[in-house]
Chain A
Amino acid sequence: MPDTRNAIDVRNAVKRYGSFTALQSITLSIRDNEFFTLLGPSGCGKTTLLRMIAGFEDVTEGEIFLFGEEIENLPPHQRPVNTVFQNYALFPHMTVEENVMFGLEMRGSSREAARQTAGKMLELVQLAQFSARKPSQLSGGQQQRVALARALAPQPKVLLLDEPLSALDLKLRQAMRSELKSIQRETGITFTFVTHDQEEALTMSDRIAVMSAGRLQQLGEARDIYERPVNRFVADFIGETNLLDARLEAVDASVATCRLANGLTLECDAIGSARSGADVHISIRPERMTLTAVNDDPWQGTVKENIFVGTDVQTIVQLQGDIALTVRTQNSAAGVATIFDPGTEVAITVEAGAARMLED
């Protein structure tokens, strides 16, 4: 029996289109009241999973539960979840108010009650003064808010958001992020958010499910996924990282010693079942390394290039054995002091605990 306290329980959900498998046995739980994000590149199956929860796609195998109630065989109009669509899908022949009232009326509210709730919802998204307009007379950001108000008005048990910010420009997108987050807190409704933008996912989510190629790669809190990725895909997809091939030399209690192809060694937390001699991968975030003037440390290289990116500077350092590392230095007085001209020999310090061993 699924846990009735969970907003959504997906059990071994499989989606096949003919011979193509879009989702391979996904199992995950979305807790009540949380901001949950499905994150992954396009084609990873995140939208398919969302549409299966909404009822627009059949579930080939497996079950979906909503607060303990099995819903995967219900048609969409009988599922108490609402969706904010990627391109809003506002009804063009209705006013903003009528759009927001639609779901309420369909659930049996009287016209008057629906109008009152719609008014409150439009206030929540700060569009009360636009209630008599048609969607075509609103900007993209305003249409986005109407779509949000329309989906929230019938008080769904779970709100599904399908890349709702992707059509907005950067500034508006950033503003909407914090607004979405605060509306989620205010209404207490469980949000399930689909995005391919890792920054969006990291800034808004309580928990993130990283997906790739129809599989769930990792599920956890933002910091957890960033600091402790379980495989190369997650390490690379979330933020930036240096991925290096290595061999596991020795495992001593919880410390694993790995040797890179050029002979340098690194210590990381031992994870998984890898034995000495196994081929592994190392992920080091660029901001977890610093450059210093050359010393007798074996971690040395030549600065190839400095790339100015505003908040910080990316330095590409060439090590012996054809290994290149990207090091990020903050664009501050202290940071700028550790930036060296191209061609300079430098020493690299890897922070303790910064190297993450990955088996896959």
Chain B
Amino acid sequence: MAGAAATGGSARSETYASARNWLLLPSWAVLGIFVLAPVAMMLVYSFLTKEFRGGVIWEFTLSAYDQFFFDRGLFGDEPAKIEWTYILIFWRSIWQAGLATLLALLIGFPTAYFIATRPAQTRTVWVFLITIPYWVNLLIRTVSMKFLLRDQGPLNDFLLATGLIDDPIRIINTNAAVQIGLFYSYLPFMVLPIYASVERYNFALSEAAADLYANKWTTLRRIVIPSVRPGIIAGCILVFVPSLGAFLAPDLLGGAKNFMIGSLIEEQFKGNAGNWPFGAAASMILLTLVLVILMFLARQQARADREATS
């Protein structure tokens, strides 16, 4: 009897296993079609030779990567020199995205904390208000921002009217305009995950800290922030990653001088002037960079979790 039962059990678990594989198929298909295939195409294209009016010639070459990093080519007759143009664009993108993330954190954390500490009914209203801008397309919002910030725009008009300034300040087509655009576009991505964490936070812990002689600032630093750290990390990733690859804000608000990676890549695929392999290579470099940063953060988080449970 026992043997029969065991056989029956294993036969059943095999059935389950095959059913499970079939049921997972849609997920695998979605991942394959929308994630793996495009990335694989990008990877392959980055090693192909460029065709002058866009498109590629199916001939293997490293020239796209070579062009990205080196002047005059790594494989030429003369000694190779590092080409700084694209690396500087990457560097500018990283610090712009980093600064946007920091600003979003500085404004987003108090906002999220404020919302999470409202009474339950009003919380929903605040969250709703945060998401309202998302009902309008990002392009339209960014163009509107351009009008708000320009020399004769409402912001300068207001500042002139209050007498704070005598001449319009030049915001548009500066790094500051790009920064404002990025910060504005992605702030809710910072607020929402932190809000979710703070809402789950046990406020009795803050009371316990106050009871044990900690002032508000120490309580925030030593008790609240460590407790909601997963939300903070999620928010930072959700702001940093899209800011890094953004092209609407730099294009529309930053002008030609404040190029970011997103714009560089976009250019390569536009019209006849493009260079598909170079665009693909720049995308792969960006992807690698993002993955390295995410893996670093994931490892940090895993270590913190291990410490929390061991």
Q: Which residues of A come within 8 Å of B, CB atoms?
A: 54-56, 75-78, 81-83, 85, 87, 89-93, 102-103, 106-107, 134, 136-137, 150-151, 154
Contacts and interface: CB of A to CB of B under 8 A. Distances in A.
A293 B214 CA distance: 69
Contacts of A78: 213
A107 B213 contact: yes
Given A89-B202, A91-B223, A106-B218, A137 B210 contact: no
Contacts of B27: none
Contact of A150 (B202, B212, B218, B310): B212
B223 A76 contact: no
23 contacts: A55-B210, A56-B210, A75-B210, A76-B210, A76-B211, A77-B210, A77-B212, A77-B213, A83-B207, A83-B211, A89-B204, A89-B207, A90-B208, A91-B209, A92-B205, A93-B227, A102-B212, A102-B214, A103-B212, A103-B213, A106-B213, A106-B218, A154-B213
Nearest to B206: A89
B208 A89 contact: yes
B136 interface: no
B208 A83 contact: yes
B308 interface: yes
- B contact patch SS: helix
Nearest to A107: B213
Given A56-B207, A85-B208, A92 B214 contact: no
Interface residues of B, number: 20
Contacts of B301: none
Contacts, number: 66
A155 to B, nearest CB: 12
Contacts of A102: 209, 212, 214, 222
Interface in B177-235: 202, 204-205, 207-215, 218, 222-223, 226-227
A54 B275 CA distance: 69
B309 interface: yes
Contacts of B218: 106
Given A92-B227, A93-B308, A134-B308, A77 B208 contact: no
A134 B227 contact: no
B211 A82 contact: yes
A103 B214 CA distance: 8
Nearest to B214: A106
Contacts of A103: 211-213
Interface in B73-103: none
Contact of B212 (A56, A75, A93, A154): A154
A126 to B, nearest CB: 22
Most chain-A CB neighbours within 10 Å: which of B204, B309, B310?
Answer: B204
Nearest to B210: A76
B212 A85 contact: no
A89 B205 contact: yes
B46 to A, nearest CB: 43
Contact of A134 (B211, B213, B226, B309): B309
